[in-house]
Amino acid sequence: MRGARAAHQFDVAVIGGGPAGAATACRLGRAGRRVVLFERDRFPRFHIGESLLASVNDALDEIGAQDLVRAQGFPMKWGATFGTADGAIERFADFATSPEVPAPQTWQVPRAQFDELLLRHAAACGAEVREGHRVLDADFDGDGVTITVRDESDREEQTRAAAVVDASGRFGLLARKFGLRVTEPRLANIAIFAHYAGVPRATGRRGGDIRVIARPDLGWFWFIPVSDALMSVGVVLPRPAYDALPRMATEVLLDHTIAETPAVAALMREARREWPVRVEQDFSFGARAYAGDRWLLVGDAGAFLDPVFSTGVAIALESGVEAGRALDRALATGDLSARAFAAFERRQRQRYRAFRRFVLGFYTRSFRDLFFLATPMPTLFRAVVTSLAGYWRPSRSTRAWQGFFFLLARLQRHIPVVPRIPEVGTGRPRRYGTSS
Q: Which of 333, 353, 373 is the last residue of a domain?
A: 353
**Contact call for residues 359 and 306 (beta carbons, < 8 A):** yes
- At 123 the pLDDT is 98
Q: Are residues 383 and 423 in the same domain?
A: yes
In this predicted structure, the answer to whether residue 323 has a pLDDT above a threshold of 50 is yes
Q: Are residues 211 and 252 in the same domain?
A: yes
Q: Are residues 179 and 203 in the same domain?
A: no
Residue 98 lies in a domain: no
Domain hosting 27: range is: 2-74+109-183+284-353
In this predicted structure, the answer to whether residue 426 has a pLDDT above a threshold of 90 is no
Q: Are residues 277 and 160 in the same domain?
A: no
* CATH number of domain containing 18: 3.50.50.60
- At 2 the pLDDT is 36
- pLDDT, tens only, 34-66: 999 999 999 999 877 678 999 999 999 999 999
- pLDDT, tens only, 289-315: 999 999 999 999 999 999 899 999 999
Helix axes of 342-362 and 378-388: crossing angle, nearest 10 degrees: 130
Residue 69 lies in a domain: yes
Residue 81 lies in a domain: no
- pLDDT, tens only, 357-394: 999 999 999 999 999 987 888 999 999 999 999 999 99
Q: Is the sign of the CA dihedral 156, 162, 167, 170 positive or negative? A: positive
Residue 418 lies in a domain: yes
Q: Are residues 173 and 204 in the same domain?
A: no
Q: Is the sign of the CA dihedral 422, 428, 430, 431 positive or negative? A: positive
Upstream peptide bond of 276 is cis (omega within 30 degrees of 0): no
- At 282 the pLDDT is 72
**How far, in Å, CA of 70 to CA of 65, rounded?**
9
Residue 68 lies in a domain: yes
- Which of the two residues, 203 and 197, has the higher pLDDT score? 197
* Least confident piece of the model among 21-30, 33-42, 197-206, 325-334: 197-206
Q: What is the mean pLDDT of residues 74-95?
A: 92
Number of structural domains, the chain? 3
- At 361 the pLDDT is 96
**How far, in Å, CA of 63 to CA of 230, rounded?**
29
Q: What is the mean pLDDT of residues 273-287?
A: 90
410: enclosing H helix or E strand: helix 396-412
- Which of the two residues, 346 and 48, has the higher pLDDT score? 346
Given phi > 0 = left and psi -120 to 50 = alpha, else beta, which region is 308? alpha
In this predicted structure, the answer to whether residue 255 has a pLDDT above a threshold of 50 is yes
Q: Are residues 178 and 302 in the same domain?
A: yes
Q: Are residues 174 and 65 in the same domain?
A: yes
Q: Which of 262, 281, 300 is the last residue of a domain?
A: 281
Residue 289 lies in a domain: yes
- At 385 the pLDDT is 97
Distances (CA, A) of 251 to 172, 221, 255, 257, 274: 29, 15, 6, 10, 12
Residue 123 lies in a domain: yes
Query: How do strand 106-107 and strand 278-281 relate by DSSP bridges?
Result: unpaired
- pLDDT, tens only, 106-157: 999 999 999 999 999 999 999 999 999 999 999 999 999 999 999 999 999 9
**How far, in Å, CA of 305 to CA of 400, rounded?**
24
Q: Are residues 290 and 407 in the same domain?
A: no
- Which of the two residues, 226 and 354, has the higher pLDDT score? 354
- Is residue 281 very low, low, confident or very high in pLDDT (cuts 50, 70, 90)? confident
Q: Hey, what's the torsion of the CAs at 235, 237, 242, 245, to 10 degrees?
A: -50
In this predicted structure, the answer to whether residue 7 has a pLDDT above a threshold of 80 is no
Residue 51 lies in a domain: yes
The angle at the Cα of 75, spanning 71 to 81, to the nearest 5 degrees, equals: 145
Average pLDDT, the chain: 92
In this predicted structure, the answer to whether residue 217 has a pLDDT above a threshold of 60 is yes
Q: What percent of the chain has pLDDT over 70?
A: 95
- At 3 the pLDDT is 37
Q: Enter the DSSP assignment of 171.
A: G
* CATH number of domain containing 208: 3.30.9.100
Q: Are residues 200 and 260 in the same domain?
A: yes
Q: Is the sign of the CA dihedral 143, 144, 146, 151 positive or negative? A: negative
Q: Are residues 199 and 177 in the same domain?
A: no
Q: Are residues 33 and 123 in the same domain?
A: yes
